[in-house]
Amino acid sequence: MARELTPFDITLLRKLAPECEDLICNGTRTEFRSILPPLANHYSTDEQDFVNRLSRLTDDEFTYLVGEIRNGHESVGCISPLYFSTLLDLVTERLSKRVSQELVSIYENDEGCG
């Protein structure tokens, strides 16, 4: 589910993608409504870069971002399966396998980009 990014969300996005100058998607010309899709689709050069960027988050910031996925505020449907798989590996490593499995269910039920 897309949302309006909070100031904290914008801070996280800019921490993850310092090259983010504005919050507009070049493809749709609309404002970013999530953190992970622009990170994966616009700023990360590959899966390893995606993980490296996510690794910049503190434990509290990472837990917040995963919480936003879990409560339906952070969209994951626009992320390719390869990128999502690397996110799951990081969630397993930093949080737990149980949370990772929960995210798989969320990903599978996400309606995608829309």
Residue length, the chain? 114
* 31-69 per-position pLDDT tens digit: 667 899 889 988 999 999 999 999 999 999 999 999 999
Q: What is the pTM of this model?
A: 0.88
How far apart are alpha carbons 78 and 36 in whole angstroms?
9
pLDDT tens digits for range 89-98:
999 999 999 9
Q: How far apart are CA 21 and CA 79, in angstroms?
A: 21
Start-to-end CA distance of the chain, whole Å, equals 9
Neighbouring CB atoms inside 10 A of 5's CB total 19
Quote the CA–CA distance of 78 and 111 in Å, as a whole number: 9
